Amino acid sequence: MGRMKKILFALRPGDSATILFLAFLVCLTVIFYRAIPRGPYLISLYSALIVIQIILIRIKKTGKFIRFFYDLIFPTICVLLIFDSLEWIVHYVNPRDIDPVLIRLDYIIFGNHPTVMLEKIMNPLLTDILQLAYSTYYFVPISYGAVLLLNKQKEEFNRSLFLILFCFYLSYLGYILFPALGPRFYLKQFQSTELHGLFVTKPLMDILNRLEGIKRDAFPSGHTGITVLVLYLSYKYRREFFRIALPVVSALVLATVYCRYHYVVDVIAGFGLTVITIILGERYYRWWTKGQSDGKF
């Protein structure tokens, strides 16, 4: 136990979150090895990312580019590769979709399917705007992190990086525990019309479909959880970024349902994901900071 604490104090919280989640995925792949079709590839991928993370920790002070790669680029690569790999994990580990439960909850709350109700306000320009906002999902946290680094807010960056990574990994755990495809697949027969934009909707939807494939990634809404978390952090540490991000994130949250990617209960769960991340993440970060200041490492 003492050795484990020493390791945790030695690692930046964002690094420990990544290593621990990758180790969890390796164990999960081994346990369900016979059910998972790309087991050797996934074990190799997760192990390689762990090794690269450890190497970067050791060489992070050797140059500005290495430091930037360590701080911002590699965490982004990890998040994207892990998300992409979930296509080969979720449905093979937990094959029962919870969409019928989510659909029922939405119907109890609204007396109808929210994606169907939103057809009343649908128009091509609004669809373009909201699809564009939805597509800023990864750009919002990356831009926020870059702004902190450019302004030499190192402590705020490290804290934000940990909380954002922690939120991503909690959302991925949610996909494994509660697989859901979302209304664009499950409620397609109830929609009276397809989503039509002016210029960007179709190409953006095609790109997202190619990049994401068919994943059970609806519950909780990571789009909501991550971007609302960035709003919380930017309000604390970079108010000018908050003022720019607020309308974008507001449109993004509306787009999650309007563009038929999520049920409303997914979005509610996304807000809950933000709250859980802040409560648990801030508690861990305070514990880690106290350990550093007390000289435990």
Query: Residue 211 pLDDT more than 60?
Result: yes
Q: Label residue 58 exposed, middle or buried (CB < 10 Å: 0-12, 13-18, 19+).
A: exposed
The SS3 of residue 69 is: helix
pLDDT at 110: 95
Rounded percentage of the chain residues whose pLDDT exceeds 90: 79
Task: Kindly report, residue by residue over 7-42, the tens digit of the pLDDT.
Answer: 666 789 999 999 999 999 999 999 999 999 899 999
Structure token pair of residue 133: 């906002």
- Mean per-residue pLDDT over the chain, rounded: 92
User: How is the chain split into domains, by residue range?
Assistant: 2-293
**Greater pLDDT, 264 or 197:** 264
